[in-house]
Structure 1
């Protein structure tokens, strides 16, 4: 199947453009943890976030006063959905934000009206996501082909979830446009939609996978780690002009994030980290939903209780190979507009442009959904 046939329909593209362009999305009103006014450069820095477990390094850095220890004043502002956070960043209300890792690529490349020169300053987490299906589908669904005709929730078009799921479906022989529906949903709405049978499943983050298991509404069908082990998910992005104006603040923020990531990544800290992250101002979830996510404990599709220490990891270095793959998928699925094209040079340039100074710039092939991806030739289709 050529990349041209993988582009979304015009209706889906318009829907995506409306979303990322800041159109109102039902129920996605920003929840402010602080005044809405933008702090002056060199003073307090407001960082926006969406309350999912992937933001744990950011939340731990704030909750443990790590930003203050590094000499930077930070306030966090909570957004219940990606559309509002995206708009706040694009309009300059935020200079620093928790983002799904493909979002900085899209913003920096100018693929939508939300264009802004952006650096992917810190990778918060790798792995920790899953395709979760309604319990009614267990154990009957056994292959990708069994997903035909389903409605599956995705958190955002510019998410590793949406890009990886489309690639997974194609590798399994399904067309992600004509064979099923991918529906945009806030992460917080996914389990509720699953419970009322409005969707058949979703691909999303913790602690909503644990919530689906606890409520009995869903079962984990496929870990994204099985699609691509070590894939990045969320990041902290910075406007390039912010780093230029405030290099010391920028470095202090990433140093605090690294310490926050080390804290939540240590299994010895789960009993302390879970209640910290559970606070209303942060994830607003019960600690008993967060602790198993940090421990990597879950019920598999084949009814095994599993504890996997690599289920969710925090603080891995930003990878040029991973960023190149995400840039390639944005172009492949027609999300790159006229600026991020299905051309090797365009894709490589887009990836290089968002990389921080300390990123792993090595480019080595990686296996994703059973196929080899060569970041040096990102448009080359693997024949295996």
Structure 2
């Protein structure tokens, strides 16, 4: 009786002068599919609706805008998935042409969020807040998200008819139905750089793409390299320079590896043993030190060498740099086997937590936005599993996007701190991810981008890494300079860093990756022009003598 009266009232409203025309302004024939559904003047319509979410929800239901199964679907899918999965999956219907059209329209609107704003009004951002993921979400916020979620489900009818949405569609994986392999094992080192790879297991990003995936803890980067060559696992967490080094045969037999996406930017630090407190103020003060890095072909080694050289330190003569597996770094610092290290977190923050050392410098101060770790797989595995590789990379890129939101960092810290993953105190991991931390020198700092997550593999990253492999010739046999100079920096980078694919997958997810592949990189002591890396190397040698 109440619902019948509400519908009659709605029909009266529809015909009134205050209805800004007919309901045909809201429910009209669609130019795309020919069906009748909400397709015009959404923002005007929403402005006339109640602002209270409970009343808004009630009115939308009473107007008959949503079927019951649409409400159940909206109830079971959170706002995050509705934005990034349901809209593309249902509206795109796995039709690449349709998805490209949708994404092109979203780009015209300035991004997926702006497209939603154009459709649902200036307050769309509130409707699509990820609050459903938060257990503290109130009933009003939940109902508001559910109402707009149901609206998206209704829009999903624009795919060649108005067939009802299947009730189990909310739980259907969004991965390619033609996956060559679904049971996966992905190697990782227990550091915060691996956050997107690790969190994708407990937070369900792998499962969302149709994978039964497990992350496998590895003891060292040497073990990661050897396991990849042996084909023991499916994909890997690798240091950004490793795919270049392995493909060129630096430190091992040549073995083709592709860097699919960047795991993290920033997120490292130089930590010094407690006994040197007050004695280390700049690079020249490290003379005579034994210093640890996680692997020779790492951003850590290259950045440490870059820093030391500016203080007149020859990294191959005036200090001893040796590889130390990150989990062993604090024990070696306490034992006096090493005096300092440039390591990934959480081992810098854990040293402060244990009173074993202090943070001398965050690497973001050496190079803001520098790459560190990456998601990678061998050429052989990618060729054998192209659909699986694409879907797996997409899940990692989506996870990186989720991790890039500071609002999600506390949740992530709790998820990845567990024994099976980082096996670290949650407060240590949270200090790293949130950037609210003590540095061991009596300072409490707030550095929100101490670590960040941007999956885009800039070709300028590849060129800088190659330039430093040429500069330092880590093997001492001339192989790196010879190989890179003969092949060319651009060829090495574009063959190994899959920038175009990462952009394509990010766009499919509604993210807004750059369209350029190179950018000028601003470091602490110089500026890197990726168009002329050889001149950059020579300038470094001329200025610092090494």
Normalization by structure 1: what TM-score? 0.84
Aligned to 1:379: 534
Structure 2 counterparts to residues 1-384 of structure 1, below 5 A? 42-300=181-439, 303-335=442-474, 338=479, 341=482, 343=485, 345-356=487-498, 357-358=500-501, 362-380=517-535, 381-382=538-539
- Give CA-to-partner distance per residue, 1:271-316, whole Å, 9 cap, x none: 3212210111111111111110111123347642111111100134
Runs of 4+ in 1 over 4 A off after TM superposition: none
User: For the residues of structure 2 that align with 1:108 and 1:58, how far apart are their CA atoms?
Assistant: 22
- Alpha-carbon offset, residue 261 of structure 1: 1.7
Q: 1:355 to 1:126 in 2, by over 3 A?
A: same
User: For the residues of structure 1 that align with 2:240 and 2:386, how far apart are their CA atoms?
Assistant: 22
Gaps of 5+ in 1: 1-39
Higher helix share: 2
User: For the residues of structure 1 that align with 2:520 and 2:246, how far apart are their CA atoms?
Assistant: 26
User: For the residues of structure 1 that align with 2:339 and 2:246, how far apart are their CA atoms?
Assistant: 31
Q: Secondary structure at 1:375's aligned position in 2?
A: coil
Give the alignment's Cα RMSD to 1 decimal: 2.1
User: For the residues of structure 2 that align with 1:260 and 1:99, how far apart are their CA atoms?
Assistant: 17
Q: Secondary structure at 1:88's aligned position in 2?
A: helix
Paired residue total = 345
- Give CA-to-partner distance per residue, 1:326-363, whole Å, 9 cap, x none: 12212221137536526275333222211213356532
Q: Give the greater-gyration-radius structure (CA).
A: 2
Q: 1:338 to 1:144 in 2, by over 3 A?
A: closer
User: For the residues of structure 2 that align with 1:290 and 1:196, how far apart are their CA atoms?
Assistant: 24
Higher strand share: 1
Gaps of 5+ in 2: 1-178, 503-513
Q: 1:87 to 1:265 in 2, by over 3 A?
A: same
- Alpha-carbon offset, residue 109 of structure 1: 2.0
Q: 1:71 to 1:43 in 2, by over 3 A?
A: closer
Q: 1:192 to 1:248 in 2, by over 3 A?
A: same
Q: Secondary structure at 1:238's aligned position in 2?
A: strand
User: For the residues of structure 2 that align with 1:288 and 1:304, how far apart are their CA atoms?
Assistant: 17
- Give CA-to-partner distance per residue, 1:118-148, whole Å, 9 cap, x none: 1100100000100100122111211211110
Q: 1:41 to 1:340 in 2, by over 3 A?
A: farther
User: For the residues of structure 2 that align with 1:63 and 1:114, how far apart are their CA atoms?
Assistant: 35
User: For the residues of structure 2 that align with 1:298 and 1:238, how far apart are their CA atoms?
Assistant: 34
Q: Secondary structure at 1:75's aligned position in 2?
A: strand
Q: 1:340 to 1:236 in 2, by over 3 A?
A: farther
- Alpha-carbon offset, residue 238 of structure 1: 1.4
